[in-house]
Amino acid sequence: MTGQRLALTAITLAALFGSSALAQQHDMPAGMTCQQHQAQMKKEAEMKKHGNVAMGFDQDKTTHHFLMTRDGGSIQVETNDAADTTSRDQIRAHLKSISEQFSKGDFSAPFATHMETIPGTSTMQELRATISYSFEENDRGASVKIKSTDPKAIAAVHQFLQYQIREHSTGDPLEVKD
């Protein structure tokens, strides 16, 4: 009977560890080589690490959304756990600061997160007088609404948001939805 228990224990452990190992693996996108996928995963890990510092909150405890509108768009960040008031308050502080920095043409925070110049930001700096940024709190975090009537500024805002959507893998639409 001892041999049977040992075999059953071994099978149970293999099933437990095997399923948790599979759950932690990332699916490799179609058409991507193993090396490309590893490079992508490394870049995402670096972005999270830099984002934790630049934004002042844990990226794994929050969800970002970047939404485009006809007159600009919005950045929205919320806690994943409604009871996580620490992250909620950190999000609010960060996005309040972002709305103030962006209105001055300062895009150093996104640069610090991504370690590269973000598409659209040079035009957003140039046309900053035509773009408004408004900070709004919500139950789980906050948002920054970005608006303009200048077509060139709106196109730059859309470039900025599309980059963020791709980099943060939010799944948000890459075009304006009605």
In the DSSP assignment, the letter for residue 74 is E
Domain presence at residue 20: no
- Could you tell me which residues come within 8 angstroms of residue 149 by beta carbon, excluding any fewer than 6 positions away? 71, 130
- For residues 113 and 14, the model is more confident at 113
Average pLDDT, the chain: 82
Q: Which domain holds residue 89?
A: 38-168
Structure confidence by residue, pLDDT tens digits, 51-60: 555 567 788 8
Average pLDDT over residues 92-109: 95
Average pLDDT over residues 40-52: 59
Domain presence at residue 156: yes
Domain presence at residue 12: no
Tokens of 118: 């973000």
Domain presence at residue 144: yes
- Mean pLDDT comparison of 34-43, 134-143, 159-168, highest-scoring range: 134-143
Domain presence at residue 52: yes
Domain presence at residue 16: no
Q: Rg of the Cα trace of the chain?
A: 21
d(CA 176, CA 178): 7
d(CA 43, CA 97): 25
Domain presence at residue 53: yes
